[in-house]
């Protein structure tokens, strides 16, 4: 699933076909989703019987830089030292400017990403607003700030809460920044930004409330595409009484009226 921010500041999703299939015209329409049972590695594309972590075959799990420990734990990154599974890849992706941010997905969470990944990373998380609070020259330093702030702030997203329509709370982000400034350890304070303003991210909807009965069919690992943080698109479909997570090997099928789409990685 590809996500971009349009000129109207509304997130638009597309399936990665050639050419990409824009999903906006399908919002408000009835659709059917079917898992084929096919599993493909998100790194090498090889068809496999079993996937590991966020959709890797076993050889890529232990060798691909996209599956390295520092993807999940940026504080362990060694790219700025010229080290890693693939030093050239690490230098290009991790020994470059990163930001620490706070995003709002019903609650405030802290995260890190490359500067060039904004606002894509916020879209991936399904945020309705976000605020950059620090800017640093490489990934490991951003990870140190994130880890220190985890004492105060969460780094997880409650995807169930995101099924309900929510309004961006920019004041909550500003208040969280003030809290972070007071909580962050002294040797990292120099990297904090005090004057950045929150950015609002609008989600396309069908004009229907998703409160109450609904079912969510979540994209399987074999359908994800790696973008330095694995995207998990969540189509909100109206009309069913419970939430289910179909497994691709069961060849699950489901459908309904597409109310909205939001990532929740």
Residue 45: predicted pLDDT:
93
35-39, 205-209, 212-216: lowest mean pLDDT where?
212-216
Q: Is residue 224 predicted with pLDDT exceeding 90?
A: no
Pick the more confident residue, 242 or 147: 147
Residue 152: predicted pLDDT:
92
Q: Is residue 25 predicted with pLDDT exceeding 60?
A: yes
Contact (CB, 8 A) for 236 and 217: no
Residue 222: predicted pLDDT:
32
Residue 15: predicted pLDDT:
86
Quote the percentage of the chain above a pLDDT of 70: 77
Our measurement of the distance from residue 110's CA atom to the centroid of its chain's CA atoms, rounded to an integer in Å, reads 12
Section 131-158 average pLDDT: 91
Section 231-239 average pLDDT: 46
Q: Is residue 155 predicted with pLDDT exceeding 80?
A: no
* 97 — pLDDT class (breaks 50, 70, 90): very high
Enumerate the β-bridge partners of residue 234. 262
**Most confident of the following: 9-18, 42-51, 201-210:** 42-51
Pick the more confident residue, 224 or 115: 115
Residue 208: predicted pLDDT:
31
Residue 205: predicted pLDDT:
61
31-35, 79-83, 109-113, 133-137: lowest mean pLDDT where?
31-35
Q: Is residue 50 predicted with pLDDT exceeding 70?
A: yes
**Most confident of the following: 43-52, 164-173, 199-208:** 43-52
Question: How far, CA to CA in Å, does 224 sit from each of 16, 30, 263?
Answer: 10, 23, 11
Quote the percentage of the chain above a pLDDT of 90: 50
């Amino acid at each position: 699933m590809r996500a971009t921010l349009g000129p109207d500041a509304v997130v638009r999703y597309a399936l990665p076909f050639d050419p990409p299939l824009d999903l906006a015209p399908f919002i408000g329409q009835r659709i059917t989703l079917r898992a084929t049972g096919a599993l493909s590695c998100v790194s090498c594309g090889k068809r496999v019987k079993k996937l590991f972590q966020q959709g890797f075959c076993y050889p890529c799990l232990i060798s691909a830089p996209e599956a390295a420990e520092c993807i999940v734990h940026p504080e362990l990154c060694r790219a700025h030292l010229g080290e890693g599974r693939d030093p050239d890849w690490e230098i290009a992706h991790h020994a470059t400017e990163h930001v620490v941010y706070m995003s709002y997905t019903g609650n405030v969470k802290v995260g890190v990403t490359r500067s060039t990944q904004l606002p894509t990373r916020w879209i991936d998380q399904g945020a309705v607003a976000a605020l950059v609070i620090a800017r640093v020259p490489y990934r490991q330093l951003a990870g140190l700030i994130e880890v220190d702030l985890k004492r105060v702030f969460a780094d997880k997203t409650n995807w169930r809460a995101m099924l309900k329509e929510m309004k961006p709370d920019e004041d909550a982000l500003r208040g969280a920044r003030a809290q972070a400034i007071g909580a962050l350890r002294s040797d990292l304070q120099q990297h904090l930004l005090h004057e950045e303003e929150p950015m609002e991210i609008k989600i396309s909807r069908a004009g229907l409330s998703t409160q109450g009965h609904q079912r969510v069919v979540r994209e399987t690992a074999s359908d994800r595409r790696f973008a330095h943080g694995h995207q998990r698109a969540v189509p909100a479909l109206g009309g069913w009484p419970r939430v289910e997570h179909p497994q691709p090997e069961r060849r699950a099928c489901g459908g309904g009226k597409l109310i909205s789409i939001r990532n929740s990685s």
